Amino acid sequence: MKKTILFCSLLFISVTPFAQGKKLAPDNLKQKTTFQTSSPWMPQIDVRSDVAIVYGTSDRNGETFEQRVQSWRDHGYQTAFMTGIAWGQYFDYFLGKWDGKNHLGVGQVTQKGDTIFHGKNMPYVVPVQSFIDYMKTAVIKRVVDANITTIFLEEPEFWARAGYSAPFKEEWQKYYGFPWRPQDESPENTYLSSKLKYHLYYEAIKQVSSYAKSYGKSKGREVKVYIATHSLVNYSSWQIVSPEASLASLPGIDGYIAQVWTGTSREPTYFDGKKKERVFENAFLEYGSMVSMTAPTGRKLFFLTDPIEDWPRDWADYRKNYQATFTAEILYPMVDNYEVMPWPERIYTRPYKLAHSDSSVLIPKYYSTQMQVMVNALNSMPPSANRVNGVNGIGVLMSNSLMFQRFPTHNGFEDPQFSNFYGQTLPLLKRGIPVQTVHMENLAYASTLKNIKVLVISYSNMKPNSPEVHQHIVDWVKKGGVLIYCGRDDDPYQSVMEWWNTKGNKYGSPSQHLFKLLGINPSSGKQKFSVGKGSVYVIRQNPKEFVMQAENDNDYIRQVKQAYEKDAHGGKLIFKNNFYLERGPYDIISVLDENPDGKPYIIKGPVIDLFDPQLPVLNQKTINPGEQSFVYVLSRVADKKQPKVLASASRIYEARVEDKMYSFTAKSPLNTFNSARVYLPSKPGKITVINSTGQIISDVKSSWDTSSSTLYLGFENSPDGIKVNIEW
């Protein structure tokens, strides 16, 4: 993350195996929710997810890495490990202690000769062999020796503006077989430089993950390796090169963490001629790109979001954007694994500004309560076969090569704010169409295009990585798919040295090869062609034109509508101003602004408002344009005879039902306040709340809602557990 670093339906009547002090066997437990931390266990950050991801192997403050890991195990956590694969506190490597050689020279270097640093004596690295060997023997080996079997390699990142260091020049010569060429001199040099950056991190991860697996096996352990990475949308937007989708084909990679949060999603975008932040929409596209990258491969995917972000804002800003990104992630019902937050120590123990004030305070109680309700909802968030309302059959093709032509600018061709991508997606998304992204690298998988009726492609900001890509697309069209190709094919990367103009191929642009396989001639002036059972539209505009100019996407939308309704026989293309998903007991809603329909979305109750720390029961919930909502629908309580905690700002343990009595233990970080709403068959007659030392807590808020048969409880949290007994 360009950062300093730099989710229970809630809590049903099940006993979570989280006994304090007990060392648990990781292989026997689920790993559904996680968080990452560089701190030892502290009561203020006892988040109560399944797994604590311990960050970095550094010994600090008189405590070894192994002791830091043990501190989390001693409090009942499974432990995993995360470390940067492009940067990190590898001072023994950088400063020469590891092998007697100073390695600061492996940093990524810009045209001006500046090394790009992540911190003092911490460069972003060109992953040369010595660094890979260091990662294997000094980091991964120590982690496996500490009996950790789940490893996350974070952020394989090579800055697009880098590529001028001596080690990079040496790697160029080895990879291409001819001397280094400065990327600023030509589009082809830029493209070749980006491909090499991509390859270097692919190879580094291949070696490190393979070593982790083999070394673990030598110790009798099955090690799993995941990649924690920003989305392809964000890396392309932020001008960073990373292996992304290709890693899913590596035997050593078991899945990904999708690092999406306010910091990535608030990157301004163009739509209707206006450049501004569109956090929900951007997050929805980011999470979607991670799904399309991973789903066909069967790899496990964790979704991350963050209750704050790296840049100092204020708590009101953090809360608003956390709701937007959180809503976006849970609108993908096929994903039910979550990193609920990074760095709880900075969330719970670092002061930030209050809105409209110069005062800095620790996280306000109202926000930590709301956040913990949301986080604990993820512990048992169910997957669902449901889909977001609206048309789900329209896709936009993506490729890793989106990262290859972002920097520098050549021949005056610009793509401000990555607008060629947003030009294909935002006009659909803003009309309430849950547009999907499709990864070019996954086209060989039959499931990739299985549910896509209309596919939008542009080579204005990416290029196909092989002729096989086009064959997969042509086969899909001939079976009835509808293709919309957008682009003038006038960017300077059309003629870079690639497969379409080498080894006997002499196409002036990659689309010419695609059109030849389709058997069509767009230069004839026609816009629509029949190919087999399918159809092809060619729009000779670059997609950025649809969003950078006001009211300039109408023709594009008209073509998509005709393609979907008439050619793909998909039914009516529904335009609306909302996204809605029913997921288990939850309703999840986002209402879009910048839409002709300015009406709010109304949910009929009774529902519990999970974005309100007081957990009120509402007869109806109104969501206005630009807002999101997350509610528990009380009509979906499965067994009306059984009491249960429906929502809580704590995790629930040891839930027991006896004759006219219900008891449970609530655990959550110190210095936070618990709100809970409990379903009961009858109005309670006696409520007893006891702390971990056996003392009765008198300062308990409670109220009974007859209409929903639910009890509200509020009391100070404790990681040691608060025991609740309810009798009726």
Predicted pLDDT at 354: 80
Residue corresponding to tokens 């990416």: 462
Contact 299, 229 (CB under 8 A): no
Rounded CA separation 688/157 (Å): 53
Amino acid present at 62: G
Rounded CA separation 205/469 (Å): 25
Contact 297, 314 (CB under 8 A): no
Residue 606 preceded by cis peptide, ω within 30: yes
Rounded CA separation 247/227 (Å): 8
Predicted pLDDT at 248: 82
Predicted pLDDT at 353: 85
Predicted pLDDT at 3: 44
Predicted pLDDT at 27: 38
Predicted pLDDT at 675: 98
Rounded CA separation 366/364 (Å): 5
Contact 437, 395 (CB under 8 A): yes
Rounded CA separation 338/255 (Å): 12
* Secondary structure of residue 267 in the 3-state scheme: coil
Class of the domain covering 394-567: alpha beta
Q: Which residue from 353, 98, 404, 383 is spatially nearest to 243, judged by alpha carbons?
A: 404
Contact 413, 535 (CB under 8 A): no
**Taking every pair of C-alpha atoms in the chain, what is the biggest distance, in angstroms?**
85
Predicted TM-score (pTM) of the model is 0.95
Which residues does the chain have with pLDDT short of 50? 2-28
Between strands 528-531 and 274-276, the pairing is: unpaired
Hey, what are 169's tokens?
Answer: 């020049």
Residues 6 or more apart whose CB falls under 8 angstroms from that of 285 comprise 233, 425, 429, 435, 437
Predicted pLDDT at 73: 98
Domain residue ranges of the chain, discontinuous segments joined by +: 86-224, 394-567
